[in-house]
């Protein structure tokens, strides 16, 4: 089974660049404290790295 990551938005996109806001929307996060379970792929990891100051990442157990 593929690993999953639990990504929660903890920072506001206000006064951030357009590409960082677009990255949050691409991850399915566009409101504070919204959480998504995403596959642990290099593409998702790259998006998380771009907005690491605005998200909290935890591995999904199971």
Q: For the sheet with 4-9, list strands across it.
A: 35-39, 4-9, 55-59
Give the mean pLDDT of 46-56: 98
pLDDT band at 61 (very low <50, low <70, confident <90, very high): confident
**CATH number of the structural domain spanning residue 52:** 3.30.1390.20
pLDDT band at 4 (very low <50, low <70, confident <90, very high): very high
How far apart CA 62 and CA 48 sit, in angstroms, is 22
DSSP state of 35: E
Domain count, the chain: 1
Is there a contact between 58 and 9 (Cβ–Cβ < 8 Å)?
no
pLDDT of 47 strictly over 80: yes
Domain span at 41:
4-59
pLDDT in tens, 14-41: 999 999 999 999 999 999 999 999 999 9
pLDDT of 1 strictly over 70: no
């Amino acid at each position: 089974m593929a690993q999953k990551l639990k990504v929660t938005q903890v920072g506001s996109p206000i006064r951030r660049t357009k590409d960082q806001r677009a990255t949050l929307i691409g991850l399915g996060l566009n409101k504070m404290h919204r959480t998504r379970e995403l596959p642990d792929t290099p593409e998702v990891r790259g998006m998380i790295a771009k907005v690491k100051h605005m998200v909290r990442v935890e591995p999904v157990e199971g």
